[in-house]
Amino acid sequence: MSFAVIQIVSQTDVALNLRRARHLLEQAAEAGARLAVLPENFAAIGHKDPALLGRTEATGEGPILPWLKRTARDLRLWIVAGTIPLPPEDNPQGRPNACSLLFDDQGQRVARYDKLHLFDADVADSRAHYRESDDYAAGQQLVVADTPVGRLGLTVCYDLRFAELYTALRTAGAELISVPSAFTTVTGEAHWEILIRARAIETQCYILAAAQGGEHPGSRLTYGHSSIVDPWGRLLCEQATGEASLVALRDADEQTAIRQRMPVQRHRRFSVPCLVTDRLE
């Protein structure tokens, strides 16, 4: 019942990023993790043409999807593949979604979550303006899936600011929630720990927050501080910056006890309308 979060400092070189990610996933598997979460944009960050990268992967000509299948199978490890750009399943020529994919330990893709909330914001850093919607289309559906370590809800980065999404995942039975991220240093210093701990406390879920943690092309800085938070809001492990493989144990009995002692889900007075799918393939 162990899981891991991976922190890396991705560059534009896809092959290099995949080599580094493989090394860190090997560490997670050797430490006994059954599931590992890679950060947002783990295979490439700052890519000039996400749509082209996504179409190449979708047509089977790219390196990332075959690498994910092979790595999951080789390491006998379930992998949440951070995010990669992929075109919508019903529109191969459309703008890509920022997709978080779940692979099982046989290398089969079992779920796809398209990031719902796109980061269009002004930040007081060297980049100043972030307009994710210029390159990506927003997703339309929540996704949960069963894994060996519990029922997993899938989210990405900016989603953290929308508590209703996490409440909906808890309603759909989530016991742990993945949050591959690439927070800026400015927003990370202000809000990262507060948000991941709040989402854990509200949902009484484990939060698996895998982040980018360093300097990227174009002088872009990400905050790091990858963490695993338990259902009581305690930080079980954390890595400030640089690369790391963090592993923690899920205590299912304690999680059940927390939910029984404080049954917040039963006490909710407001329902959250949502579309949730297991997206099993």
Q: Which of 21-25, 131-135, 147-151, 192-196 has the least mean pLDDT?
A: 131-135
Q: Within 10 A of 163 (CB to CB), how many other CB atoms are there?
A: 14
- Sorted by sequence, the CB contacts under 8 Å of residue 84 that are 6+ apart come out as 41, 42, 43, 53, 54, 57, 64, 65, 98, 99, 101
Q: Model confidence at 275, in pLDDT bands (50, 70, 90)?
A: low
The chain-wide mean pLDDT, for the chain, equals 94
Query: Can you give the pLDDT at residue 281?
Result: 43
Nearest-10 crossing angle of helices 193-203, 163-171: 30
Please give the average per-residue pLDDT across 105-129, as a whole number: 92
Q: Model confidence at 98, in pLDDT bands (50, 70, 90)?
A: very high
Q: Is the CB of residue 51 less than 8 Å from the CB of residue 96?
A: yes
Q: Please tell me which residue, 19 or 91, carries the higher pLDDT value.
A: 19
Confirm whether 48 is a catalytic residue.
no
- Rounded CA Rg of the chain: 17
CA distances from 5 to 24, 37, 103, 111 (A): 9, 5, 15, 18
Q: Is the CB of residue 200 less than 8 Å from the CB of residue 230?
A: yes
Q: Please tell me which residue, 276 or 218, carries the higher pLDDT value.
A: 218
With a cut of 90, say whether residue 66 has pLDDT above it.
yes
Considering the candidates 115, 175, 238, 243, report the single residue annotated as catalytic. 115
Confirm whether 115 is a catalytic residue.
yes
Q: Model confidence at 195, in pLDDT bands (50, 70, 90)?
A: very high
Considering the candidates 40, 57, 175, 238, report the single residue annotated as catalytic. 40
Query: Can you give the pLDDT at residue 280?
Result: 45
Please give the average per-residue pLDDT across 182-192, as a whole number: 96
| Distance linking the first and last C-alpha atoms of the chain | 24
With a cut of 60, say whether residue 15 has pLDDT above it.
yes
Confirm whether 40 is a catalytic residue.
yes
Question: Of how many residues is the chain composed?
Answer: 281
**pTM given for the model:** 0.95
Considering the candidates 157, 175, 205, 238, report the single residue annotated as catalytic. 157
